[in-house]
């Protein structure tokens, strides 16, 4: 019992801090772009630090009872190991995982029974690995602090553009929807002409060979909504550019332009993926509240219906024009990790099934929007390709010069229904997503001067295998396959 004599008050506090400190630092290091908000910092403080301290303190006091005091020496070792391993589990795996929890409890019982007299050594070890975690996190934070936001600066005054036309604008993004021009060849080999014909019959113009500039949702959208290239922040720290969600959701040039022209803005999505780090909401209305989003969540989350919310918002009568960013998580892409893959052909079939589901949703949206808002400007596009032809998306980190492989990553649908079927004469400039809104704003303002500053229509990726690790141009301005490294620092 001597172990509690001198540290009766301090030891539960120390053991509580030790149980949660490394898991909290570990999660922040691995997922910092998902948890870089004050709400998350407070969550980690209360759940990973203050909660264990409170539980440990109360438990030790409970075991002061005469009937329980003989077991008191096991309490802190058991709780410390249980909380430490459980925190690590929830940092690594979502869900309950009953077998893992049973294993954690079994390990905690064994440690408490046989090693209770080594509790202080266990705590020292936990603090040492927490120190390693802290150093790693600080290094990452320093690396992020050196990232410049200069890429967001516009080369002209397009942020102050004044519209001459103010139709309601619907930017409908079907995740991973490959362009019609690619669908019937390469790895896809699919006849999507019925849906193509449906769009044409409803006044849409389809733009062949359109593609994204970056391979993932966040990278692509950050570039699209800033109308600029970010080149992955010229950094290899992570595959996700820093503050991408804040750039897409909180503040960007596209939102600024619509706000400056009196538009009410709406973000409607099937998934909270864009909102996981709780960025300040830059849209006037969103169908997802932060109260619905778990603090530790690095996945897509539960998908929700978006047709009804969009149509309800379309029907709202207001004195302002509307801009909608509608995100549909179909057809999406093949599995990301090798351990989940169904392998090429089954992945292709699963993607095609999801494509048909996307077509159903898009038809319903388009039909109902046009009934309620026949003079609207509708844009159907994608953030990247479907990655069909690969076993899993992580294979993209290896160098390839296979044209179909590369276009499977970047090929993206673009169909636009122009009001009164009057497409601008310069719509041939539609080649990649980085210039989509600049061309659109030129049309809405009747000012072609903004076209003088179109970005290069090249597509970029990060390569880590088969060539020196770095950022590479994969498709050039004219759509040719290339392999040109650009400067990057890690």
Q: Which residues lie closer than 8 Å to 124 by C-beta, 6 or more apart?
A: none
Collect the ranges in the chain with pLDDT lower than 70: 1-9, 66, 94-96, 238-239, 298, 488-490
Q: How far apart are CA 457 and CA 69, in angstroms?
A: 72
Share of the chain above pLDDT 90, in %: 80
Residue 320: C-alpha distances to residues 64, 168, 284, 376 (Å): 67, 9, 12, 13
Note the pLDDT of residue 239: 60
The tens digit of pLDDT for each residue in 356-367 reads 999 999 999 999
- How far apart CA 253 and CA 257 sit, in angstroms, is 6
pLDDT digits (tens, 9 = 90+) for 127-169: 999 999 999 999 999 988 889 999 999 999 999 999 999 999 9
Domain with CATH 3.40.720.10 in the chain: 152-452
pLDDT at residue 490, as a whole number: 45
Q: How far is CA 247 from the centre of its chain?
A: 12
Residues forming a β-bridge with 266: 285, 324
Can you tell me the distance from the alpha carbon of 127 to that of 115, in angstroms, rounded to the nearest whole number? 18
Q: Rounded to two decimals, what is the model's pTM? A: 0.93
Q: What is the DSSP letter of 463?
A: E
User: What digits encode the pLDDT tens for the residues 312-337?
Assistant: 999 999 999 999 999 999 999 999 99
Helix (H, G, I), strand (E, B), or coil: what is residue 302? coil
Which distant-in-sequence residues (6+ apart) come within 8 Å of 86 by Cβ? 101, 104
The CATH class for the domain spanning 152-452 reads alpha beta
Beta bridge partners of 407: none
Q: How many CB atoms within 10 Å of residue 419? A: 16
CA distance 434 to 211: 10
């Amino acid at each position: 019992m001597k172990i509690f004599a001198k540290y009766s008050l301090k030891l539960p506090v120390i053991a509580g801090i030790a149980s949660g400190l490394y898991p909290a630092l570990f999660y922040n290091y691995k997922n910092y772009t998902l948890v870089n908000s004050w709400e998350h910092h407070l969550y980690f403080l209360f759940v990973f630090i203050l909660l264990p301290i409170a539980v440990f303190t109360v438990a030790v006091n409970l075991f002061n009872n005469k009937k329980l005091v003989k077991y008191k020496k096991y309490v802190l070792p058991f709780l410390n190991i249980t909380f430490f391993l459980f925190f690590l589990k929830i940092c690594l795996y979502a869900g309950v995982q009953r077998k893992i929890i049973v294993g954690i409890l079994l390990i905690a019982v064994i440690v408490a029974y046989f090693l209770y007299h080594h509790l202080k050594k266990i705590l020292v070890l936990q603090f040492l690995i927490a120190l390693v975690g802290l150093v790693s996190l600080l290094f990452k934070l320093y690396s992020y602090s050196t990232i410049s936001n200069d890429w967001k600066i516009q080369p002209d005054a397009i942020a102050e553009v004044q519209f001459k036309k103010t139709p309601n604008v619907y930017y409908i993004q079907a995740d991973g929807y490959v362009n019609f021009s690619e669908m019937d060849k390469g790895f896809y080999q699919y006849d999507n002409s019925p849906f193509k014909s449906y769009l044409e019959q409803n006044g849409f113009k389809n733009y062949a060979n359109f593609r994204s500039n970056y391979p993932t949702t966040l990278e692509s959208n950050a570039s699209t909504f800033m109308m600029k290239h970010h080149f992955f922040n010229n950094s290899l720290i992570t595959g996700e550019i820093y503050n991408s969600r804040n750039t897409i959701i909180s503040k960007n040039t596209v939102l600024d332009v619509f706000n400056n022209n009196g538009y009410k803005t709406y973000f409607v999505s099937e998934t909270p993926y864009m909102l996981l780090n709780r960025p300040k909401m830059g849209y006037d209305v969103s169908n997802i509240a932060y109260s619905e989003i778990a603090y530790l969540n690095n996945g897509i989350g539960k998908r929700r219906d978006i047709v009804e919310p969009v149509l309800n918002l379309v029907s709202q009568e207001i004195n302002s024009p509307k801009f909608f960013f509608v995100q549909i998580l179909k057809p999406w892409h093949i599995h990301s990790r090798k351990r989940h893959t169904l392998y090429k052909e089954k992945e292709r079939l699963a993607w095609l099934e999801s494509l048909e589901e996307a077509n159903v949703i898009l038809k319903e949206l388009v039909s109902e929007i046009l009934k309620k808002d026949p003079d609207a400007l509708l844009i159907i596009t994608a953030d990247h390709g479907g990655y069909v032809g690969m076993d899993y998306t992580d294979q993209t980190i290896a160098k390839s010069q296979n044209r179909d492989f590369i276009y499977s990553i970047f090929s993206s649908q673009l169909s636009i229904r122009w009001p009164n079927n009057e497409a601008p004469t310069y719509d041939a400039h539609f080649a990649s997503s980085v210039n989509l809104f600049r061309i659109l704003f030129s049309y809405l303002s009747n000012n072609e001067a903004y076209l003088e500053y179109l970005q290069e229509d090249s597509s970029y990726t990060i390569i880590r295998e088969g060539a020196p690790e770095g950022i590479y141009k994969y498709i050039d301005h004219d759509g040719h396959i290339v392999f040109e490294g650009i400067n990057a620092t890690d």
